[in-house]
Structure 1
Amino acid sequence: MEKTLEKSKGKFFEEIHFLRAFACIGVVLVHLSASYYNQHDQTYNWLTFALNQLGRFGTPTFALISGFLLFHQVKAKGFDFHRFLKSRFTKIVMPFVIWSIFYLLIKVFVLKATLPTGSDFIESVLTGASFYHLYFMVIVIQFYFIFPLLQSIRTKRSWMIALVFSLITSAFFINLSHFMSVKEGLGAILSNRVFIFTWIFYFIFGGFLAYYWRSITKLITSQTKLVLLVVAVYILAIYEYKVMGSIPSNRMTNLINIPLLSMAVIGLFPVIQNRRILYKPLKLIGTLSMGIYLVHPLVLLFLNQILPHTAWATRGLPIMYVVVMLLSIGIVQAIRKLSFVQYIIPVPRMQNK
């Protein structure tokens, strides 16, 4: 662990790549398992339902990572408003616009859906409804609007206040239906899954982790306890969906689960680092995670279009998962060769050897 801590003095946190990989694996698992949903019976089988629910740790973990990277950049370099706007517009806003248009065209020409017009078109894009996975980018963009204010959180006291306030805020908006009608009007807007305050705690916790990285990671010493922690969280998650049924990513228990799982994954990094069979593929997935996030629904749609119904037997799910990942990585690697890749996917451009 000490070796890992020394690396964190620089600008690059390799552990975050593996946290990204954890998040990416979960998101792809949610969407792949949805392909095994029985439309006739309106049910999953027990395994695909379990994987679908357990994969829902992925999206809030991505939110935590987004907060971590932004706050760490401010801590390391200070805050330059002009540079911030330019960077975020290039790396997130432009890819969001491009993929929103792309997936809308896919829905119209491949899925034969009706293209929304006028205000419906604007609402579809602004809420990330162009395709089922783009809502997360809307959440991140909203976070950018308030980040110029949040970046002023620097002291230990202000971080404690921000953590407590953001936790209360997220808990309130997750449970908004207990306080007001969420079917129409303002309640419907505030309860929409893309509304930033439902997710704000994850971004703030990511920033807290960035500011107090060394202090927090020094507390993460027992890898046996970390493994037991991960197992306990997943067992409780299984119990939760068994009792409550299907639960979205923005559930109350994730306000506890995500910080615990994130610190556990970070603490287990030295174990992964010493096992090349895990280290290399997870590092690749982590590096390309946002690209994989953007393209994997296209891969799933393609496979659903060309493969027979028998190919979607549950026993073949592990193989199908590998196929989806490999095809997604292949598409992202091809896009990385483009000189303007930064406008399409937020991953590093592939360097010519």
Structure 2
Amino acid sequence: MSQSTPTRPDYFYIELLRAVAAIAVVIIHVLGPYRDLLDVIPAFDWLSAVSLNVASRWAVPIFIMITGALMLSDTRPFNLRYFLARRVSKVLIPFLIWSIFYAFLAGATLHGTELTYDFAPVWPLLENLPSKATWYHLGFYYYFIPLYLLIPFLTPWVQKLSDDQLRMLVLGWLTLTLLYLLRVKSAWMIDAVMYGGYLVLGYALIRLPIAQEYRTALVFAAGMALLSSVYGIWEQSNITGQYTTGRLTSYKTLNTAVVAATVFMLAYYYGSAVTGRWKTLVRFIGRYSLGLYLLHPVVLWPIRQLNFAPEPALLTIPLMAGIVTTLTLLLVWIMSRFKATAWLVPA
């Protein structure tokens, strides 16, 4: 990391990160059924799905890093009312409403063209909502929302750190992610630290941008992290006879952190290369990225119900992800046009 430099006034790279991260999340959820088809579909298709999964795991950490980059660098005096009304409620209220919606969606089952409904699975999901997600994509909020409690205390502390102290803090956290990957236990491996480290990493990457001579090395490290993760999953899965990841796809591991840092760096430095209509499209997706994250399982639901996993995976997964993303963005845009529903898909 180089010496401190002022935060860039152009935040397009943030919009770019939001857009690509939201799309990557859609890809992860589209390919879900493929992962359980080891020895059922051709090996290349299964490996393609696993590779796309590994190559997209940076998406969730990126959202945390964006929060850290924006909020930990904010030098304005802390305003509790603004923080609760404009920051926390923007995330918390839609999360609660959509959690209830998905709990009721869990009672629906699609058999071919026949739709049936059973209330039995709904009530346990609602009862456990305070501690357990009602739908697979909502688990993110159970460790993301508590991070907001750290921000008022973390912000003044990290801003007072010297550049070297900040580097050491990031290095210490990265060491923890390596130990976690290696299954070495530590009392520091709690969610507040393991996920909160991404807040600090995002802040550090804009306060201490990666010097040009180190960027290629970071990209190489990310490539090695991706390849080793795919190979590790392939080996473990063939040994167990089923999809097995160990901790290779965990957000708490060094391989994921390195890839996330690389994606953030690339957007920060080279996002300005996106121009014209592509830039307009990125801004649109970035603006509605939260809605895309929250609603895409609705569009994906029929596909998942039918266990639709066509081949070749390397082609069909991106194609289905593109269709799901497009339809979801259309739905989110329509909802954003009406006051009664716009608050459910905050921009």
- Scaled by the length of structure 1, the TM-score of the pair is 0.76
User: Structure 1 residues 240, 166: closer, same or farther in 2, change over 3 A?
Assistant: closer
What number of residue pairs does the alignment pair up?
314
User: Structure 1 residues 249, 346: closer, same or farther in 2, change over 3 A?
Assistant: farther
Q: Deviations over 1:129-185 (max 9, x none)?
A: 21111111222211011222112122242644643454455556x3595438xxxxx
Q: Which residue of 2 aligns with 1:90?
A: 89
In structure 1, C-alpha distance between the alignment counterparts of 2:51 and 2:93, rounded to whole Å: 35
In structure 2, C-alpha distance between the alignment counterparts of 1:161 and 1:230, rounded to whole Å: 21
Aligned pair 1:179/2:185, yes or no?
Answer: yes
Match of 1:163 among 146, 162, 170: 170
TM-superposed CA distance for 1:209, in Å, is 3.5
User: Structure 1 residues 163, 280: closer, same or farther in 2, change over 3 A?
Assistant: same
TM-superposed CA distance for 1:232, in Å, is 5.7
Aligned pair 1:345/2:338, yes or no?
Answer: no
In structure 2, C-alpha distance between the alignment counterparts of 1:139 and 1:310, rounded to whole Å: 30
Q: Which residue of 1 aligns with 2:140?
A: 136
Q: Secondary structure at the match of 2:259?
A: helix
- Structure 1 window deviating more from structure 2 (161-170 vs 98-107): it is 161-170
User: Structure 1 residues 308, 19: closer, same or farther in 2, change over 3 A?
Assistant: closer
Output the amino acid matched with 2:135.
Answer: F
Aligned pair 1:105/2:104, yes or no?
Answer: yes
In structure 1, C-alpha distance between the alignment counterparts of 2:153 and 2:309, rounded to whole Å: 53
In structure 1, C-alpha distance between the alignment counterparts of 2:38 and 2:220, rounded to whole Å: 34
Q: Which residue of 2 aligns with 1:47?
A: 48
In structure 1, C-alpha distance between the alignment counterparts of 2:266 and 2:309, rounded to whole Å: 38
TM-superposed CA distance for 1:199, in Å, is 1.2
TM-superposed CA distance for 1:325, in Å, is 1.0
Q: Which residue of 2 aligns with 1:115?
A: 122
Q: Which residue of 2 aligns with 1:32?
A: 30
Q: Secondary structure at the match of 2:71?
A: helix
Q: Which residue of 2 aligns with 1:270?
A: 272
* Equivalent residues of 1:33, 1:52 under 8 A apart: yes
Q: CA RMSD in A?
A: 3.3
Q: Which residue of 1 aligns with 2:242?
A: none
Q: Which residue of 1 aligns with 2:193?
A: 197
* Equivalent residues of 2:173, 2:197 under 8 A apart: yes
User: Structure 1 residues 310, 144: closer, same or farther in 2, change over 3 A?
Assistant: closer
Q: Secondary structure at the match of 1:55?
A: coil
Aligned pair 1:16/2:18, yes or no?
Answer: no
Q: Secondary structure at the match of 2:281?
A: helix
User: Structure 1 residues 6, 272: closer, same or farther in 2, change over 3 A?
Assistant: farther
TM-superposed CA distance for 1:30, in Å, is 1.0
* Equivalent residues of 1:100, 1:128 under 8 A apart: no
User: Structure 1 residues 234, 277: closer, same or farther in 2, change over 3 A?
Assistant: farther
Q: Deviations over 1:76-130 (max 9, x none)?
A: x33112221222332011011011111111002347561244xx745x4234521
Q: Structure 1: 5+ residue runs without aligned partners?
A: 181-186, 348-353
Q: Which residue of 2 aligns with 1:290?
A: 290
In structure 1, C-alpha distance between the alignment counterparts of 2:307 and 2:204, rounded to whole Å: 48
TM-superposed CA distance for 1:14, in Å, is 1.1
Q: Structure 2: 5+ residue runs without aligned partners?
A: 111-117, 235-244
In structure 2, C-alpha distance between the alignment counterparts of 1:327 and 1:198, rounded to whole Å: 34
- Scaled by the length of structure 2, the TM-score of the pair is 0.77
In structure 2, C-alpha distance between the alignment counterparts of 1:138 and 1:22, rounded to whole Å: 22
In structure 2, C-alpha distance between the alignment counterparts of 1:178 and 1:207, rounded to whole Å: 27
In structure 2, C-alpha distance between the alignment counterparts of 1:176 and 1:40, rounded to whole Å: 25
